[in-house]
Amino acid sequence: MKNLILVIIFLLIPFVTFAGDDKPSPVGIDEKYGQVVPGDITLFDEHGKTVQLGELINNKPAIITMVYYQCPGICSPLLTGLAHTIDKLDLIPGKDYTILTISFNTKEDYIMAAEKKDNYFRTMKIKTLAEGDWRFLTGDSINIARLTDAIGFRYLKDGSDFIHPAVITVISPGAKITRYLYGTDFLPFDLKMALVEASEGKTGSTISKVVSLCYSYDAQGRKYVLNVTRIAGGGILFMLAVFAIVLVVTKKKKKM
């Protein structure tokens, strides 16, 4: 039995070493449930006028999407997925909640924001969507840094583009972070429940964050790919642990 344990430990060494040497990715989300996003963060609206984040929330839950308007990758699918989900909700934008799309690329301006907003408004099925119901915003480096830090949004510049997570952040009327929803497609039920909970000030985690651990960003291919090494390593560790437990239990039964 001692020899068996030594063999298992030997087999585990490569994966333990790998896990220890695996540096945290500079891209991702540091979930900050319950923390309040500063209301005095100053942004620029679609007309180039300054507006504070607290004014935009206006005592309603809000959906924050951090993107950049010239993104060649997941930003458009994320916004398109959000738009399709909004069309299916029985909650009304502007009345029940607000949507804030904010560019973290500080070189983008309000003209780009206005163009992006017009494109999505023309494709929406909701004809009652008013200008203030879904805002497209930009900001300077100081305020964008404050915002991304507040919600735990980590991204990395890659040439003229950025590597960044696909996520929406839901905040309460008091600007408290209550939910993160990952990916580019969202179930209407999930988004509705996130907004209802936010309106009540409730916070809660989601199993969706497992996806962010299993997937990594392929900078060259500009897409998220399945991290086979990480999954395979975890699977082998699990199988070895089960194998060891079975052997120990079997040996005890034979002694009895």
pLDDT of residue 14: 44
Name the 3-class secondary structure at 184: coil
pLDDT of residue 12: 47
Q: Contact, 113 vs 48, CB < 8 A?
A: no
pLDDT of residue 253: 58
Q: Across the chain, how many H-helices and E-strands are there?
A: 8, 13
Q: Is pLDDT larger for residue 212 or for residue 24?
A: 24
pLDDT of residue 208: 45
Return the C-alpha torsion angle 38, 187, 219, 142, nearest 10. -10
Cα–Cα distance for residue pair 140/146, rounded to 1 Å: 10
pLDDT of residue 58: 79
Q: Contact, 103 vs 139, CB < 8 A?
A: yes
Compute φ and ψ for 147, nearest 5 degrees. -70, -50
pLDDT of residue 39: 94
- Quote the mean pLDDT of the chain: 80
CATH number of 28-209: 3.40.30.10
H or E stretch covering 196: helix 188-199
Q: Give the mean model confidence (pLDDT) for residues 141-167.
A: 93
Query: CA-based angle 200:204:199, to the nearest 5?
Result: 15
Query: How does DSSP assign 103-131, residue by residue?
Result: E--TT--HHHHHHHHHHHHHH-S-TT--T
Summarised one tens digit per residue, pLDDT across range 93-127 is: 989 999 999 999 999 999 999 999 999 998 888 87
Instruction: 155-163: list long-range contacts, CB under 8 Å, 24+ apart.
Output: 155/26, 155/27, 155/66, 155/104, 156/26, 156/27, 158/219, 161/71, 161/72, 161/73, 161/222, 162/68, 162/71, 162/104, 162/105, 163/27, 163/217, 163/219
Listed range (137-146, 204-213, 235-244) with the worst mean pLDDT: 204-213
Cα–Cα distance for residue pair 35/2, rounded to 1 Å: 49
pTM: 0.72
Tokens encoding 89: 């909700």
Distances, alpha carbon 107 to alpha carbons 77, 99, 235, 255, in Å: 22, 22, 44, 72
Tokens encoding 120: 């999505």
Distances, alpha carbon 59 to alpha carbons 56, 63, 201, 215, 219, in Å: 9, 13, 12, 36, 39
pLDDT of residue 120: 92
Cα–Cα distance for residue pair 138/154, rounded to 1 Å: 17
Instruction: Count Cβ neighbours within 10 Å for each residue of 72-108 and write b for 16 or more, e otherwise.
Output: ebbbbebbebbbebbeebeeebbeebbbbbbbbbeeb
Summarised one tens digit per residue, pLDDT across range 14-28 is: 444 444 445 556 888
Q: Give the mean model confidence (pLDDT) for residues 198-225.
A: 52
Where are the chain's structural domains? 2-24+225-255, 28-209
pLDDT of residue 57: 87
Summarised one tens digit per residue, pLDDT across range 157-209 is: 888 899 999 999 999 999 999 999 999 999 999 999 999 999 887 776 654 44
pLDDT of residue 130: 86
Summarised one tens digit per residue, pLDDT across range 40-94 is: 999 999 999 999 999 998 789 999 999 999 998 889 999 999 999 999 999 999 8
Compute φ and ψ for 134, nearest 5 degrees. -135, 110
Neighbours of 233 (CB within 10 A): 17
